[in-house]
Amino acid sequence: MNIAIVGAGGAVGREILNVLEGGALPVDNLRLFGSSRSAGSKLSFRGREIEIEELTPQSDFSGVDYALVSAGGDVSRQFAGVITRHGTLMIDNSSAFRMDDDVPLVVPEINGDDALNAPRRIVANPNCTTIQMVVALAPLHRLSPVCRVHVATYQAASGAGAEAMRELERQHAQVAAGEPVEHSRFAHQLAYNLIPHIDVFTENGYTREEMKMHNETKKIMHDDRIEVSATCVRVPVMRAHSEAIWAETEHELTLEQVRRAFADAPGVVLVDDPARLQYPMPLPAAGTDPVYVGRIRRDISGRGISFWTVSDQLRKGAALNAVQIIEYVEAHR
């Protein structure tokens, strides 16, 4: 199998390398791409040093079976033709094509079959906060349709990329040294702070990140009746997003049903023993694959179930989900 990673030196690209390194896919040939900034530098994979090539309109992807693309929406739009020209299947981590009717938007545990029909040779990887939420909602939806969701997210700095992680580290050092705190990737100082603003604001007062959760959930779960209202917040955590979710189903579910559904769901690990101080947290979740679920309780203000999820968005929210799409396509060829 021949694989290419576009944006290999970025936060998601490096995590894709880690997932492939430890995974079972038989990678015969791996090519790495970046901009002129990283071209020529090398990354190691299974004991070999591989040089990053500059992505240009002349780049030749013939013979590449799958291209995992994580270089932002503009690059995806600009180079999709170059990447797919010879039949390469492009797994795109950006938001460029997610809502296009002829581009499947896939979380393999939920709608893996959609990936088998990709007329433009593009499969979109959903937004990281959406993946984590739908992996947890799907088992409830199978018991009784989920009709309404309120969610507040607590999103790690790494969700904004490798430079944003360095900015958070720098800010902590600047605070400790009593120096002025600089910011460029974030709209404000993130260290010792929260920023209720991810991606740009839209006309209805929600941000685009929040609207992604609204729109992408319907497409992945094949159900336009699910209404999601999100508030997305950046927090000074390095890795792993957390989400406080309230979900209402058409028929009320018992707590026992909900717990069993989570316990049996693929990709979900239940951590819910408050008496022993066991609940999901970002620090222990960093670098791991599951969507952790805990703090499950019946909502006391009315109908619905409240719970808390944590997942490393660089793994299941990006790199791992993209690699799982390849595994699903390979297994169903």
Ligand X SMILES: NC(=O)c1ccc[n+]([C@@H]2O[C@H](COP(=O)([O-])OP(=O)(O)OC[C@H]3O[C@@H](n4cnc5c(N)ncnc54)[C@H](OP(=O)(O)O)[C@@H]3O)[C@@H](O)[C@H]2O)c1
Could you say which of 128, 141, 183, 214 is catalytic? 128
75 binds ligand X (CB under 6 A): yes
β-sheet bridge partners, residue 305: 247, 298
Nearer Cβ to ligand X (127/171): 127
Question: In whole angstroms, how close is the CB of 249 to ligand X at the nearest point?
Answer: 28
Q: Quick one: which segment of 137-145, 209-217, 222-230, 313-321 binds ligand X (CB under 6 A)?
A: 313-321
9 binds ligand X (CB under 6 A): yes
Judge whether 135 and 111 are in contact, CB under 8 Å: no
Among 3, 4, 20, 38, binds ligand X (CB under 6 A): 38
Q: Which candidate, 109, 110, 79, places its Cα nearest to that of 92?
A: 79
Of 313, 316, 326, 329, the one binding ligand X by CB under 6 A: 313
5 pairs with which residues across the strands?
A: 32, 68
Instruction: Tell me the window of 68-76, 113-121, 208-216, 288-296 that interacts with ligand X (CB under 6 A).
Output: 68-76
User: For the CA atoms of the chain, what is the radius of gyration?
Assistant: 20
CA distances from 328 to 107, 170, 244, 265 (A): 10, 40, 30, 17
CB-based closest residue to ligand X: 10
Stretch that binds ligand X, among 10-18, 112-120, 229-237, 290-298 (CB under 6 A): 10-18
11 binds ligand X (CB under 6 A): yes
Q: Is 158 in the site for ligand X (CB under 6 A)?
A: yes
Tell me, yes or no, if 183 is annotated catalytic.
no
Which residue in 317, 326, 328, 329 binds ligand X (CB under 6 A)? 317
- Segment interacting with ligand X, rule: CB under 6 A, options 27-35, 83-91, 174-182, 286-294: 27-35
Tell me how far, at minimum, the Cβ of 82 lies from ligand X, in Å.
11
Q: Cβ 46 to ligand X, closest distance in Å?
A: 20
**Residue 236 lies near ligand X (rule: CB under 6 A):** no
For ligand X, give the closer residue by CB, 75 or 247: 75
Residues in Cβ contact with 227 at an 8 Å cutoff, skipping those fewer than 6 apart: 147, 148, 149, 214
Q: With CB under 6 A as the contact rule, which of the stretches 30-38, 168-176, 254-262, 266-274 interacts with ligand X?
A: 30-38
Please tell me whether residue 71 binds ligand X under the rule CB under 6 A. yes
Decide if 332 is catalytic.
no
The site for ligand X (CB under 6 A) is made up of 7, 9-13, 33-35, 37-38, 55, 70-73, 75, 93-94, 128, 158-159, 161-163, 313-314, 317-318
Active site (catalytic) residues: 128, 241
